[in-house]
Amino acid sequence: MKRLLDREEIERGVAALAREVTAEFGDQPITVVGVLTGCLMLVADLVRHLEMPVELGFVTASSYRGTTESGDLLLKLDDLPDLTGRQVLVVDDIFDSGKTLAAVKQSLLARGPSDVKTAALLIKRGRQVVAERPDFVAFEIPDEFVVGYGLDYRDRFRNLPFVAALEPQDLRDLAPRGA
Ligand code: IMP
Ligand code: MG
């Protein structure tokens, strides 16, 4: 594994993200909607920097994929608080193709918020297939598959306190026996 961002860099990036969010919303109330499961660390760290009134909600986004390939997207929005008239900030771990945040934003707009903005810890260089970029991003990274700080490979490595790129050797070590 090749480390890209250590714990201190992530902390500084999240604090900077929080300053941008604060500059945008001031002391107006917002609803932070995290995209599970990858958003977990970022939401937890980000909201502790915010001083406006904050409500929290979560959606689940998953795609049919075992590995590093994007598949069809499944969204679950069943447990959200009422978004009518709210200023919403959607938070995800990474903006790769951009399809997930674009789809979540579209679905949330149908619930009558006054505004929907988007934030991601990471954006992957040169991968986007949607026109819109997130409103707030902490770091741009090269086109590599990364894990840690919420990001997983087959549900592993979310708990790493740093962000690292997987290397071919890691993938070989993790391959199911016989594969
Ligand atoms: P997008 O819809 O292509 O932008 O992909 C966003 C989702 O794919 C993120 O919420 C992640 O769950 C996952 N993803 C994309 N790239 C990576 C990566 O490098 N590591 C781990 N998960 C990733
Ligand atoms: Mg995700």
Residue range 107-115: average pLDDT? 98
Please give the full DSSP string across 47-110, using - where no structure is assigned: HTT--S-EEEEEEEEEES-SSS----EEEE-TTPPP-TT-EEEEEEEEESSSHHHHHHHHHHHT
Q: Tell me which residues have their CB closer than 6 angstroms to ligand 1.
A: 35, 38, 70, 92-100, 145-147, 151-152
Task: Give per-residue pLDDT as tens, 6-37.
Answer: 999 999 999 999 999 999 999 999 999 999 99
Atom of ligand 1 nearest to the CA of 102: 2
Q: Whose CA is nearest to atom 22 of ligand 1?
A: 151
**Confidence band, pLDDT 50/70/90 cuts, at residue 99:** very high
Kindly give the number of the ligand 1 atom that is closest to the alpha carbon of 37: 12
Rounded to the nearest 10°, the torsion over CA 43, 44, 49, 55 is 70
Protein residues within 5 Å, CB atom, of ion ligand 2: 38
**What pTM did the predictor assign?**
0.93
96 an active-site residue? yes
Q: State mean pLDDT over 47-65.
A: 92
| Cα 132 from Cα 148, distance rounded (Å) | 25
pLDDT > 70: what percent of the chain? 93
The per-residue pLDDT for 150 is 98
Q: Give the pLDDT score at 62.
A: 84
Q: Give CA–CA dist 59/36, Å, rounded.
A: 6
Give the ligand whose atoms come closest to the C-alpha of residue 4. Answer: 1
Q: Which residues, at least 6 apart from 155, have a Cβ–Cβ distance to it below 8 Å?
A: none
Which of 78, 79, 96, 173 is an active site residue? 96
- What digits encode the pLDDT tens for the residues 118-149? 999 999 999 899 999 999 999 999 999 999 99
DSSP at 133: P
pLDDT at 57: 98
Considering only CA atoms, which residue is closest to atom 16 of ligand 1? Answer: 96
- Distance separating alpha carbons of residues 18 and 24, to the nearest angstrom: 10
What's the whole-number mean pLDDT along residues 50-74? Answer: 81
Contact 149, 38 (CB under 8 A): no
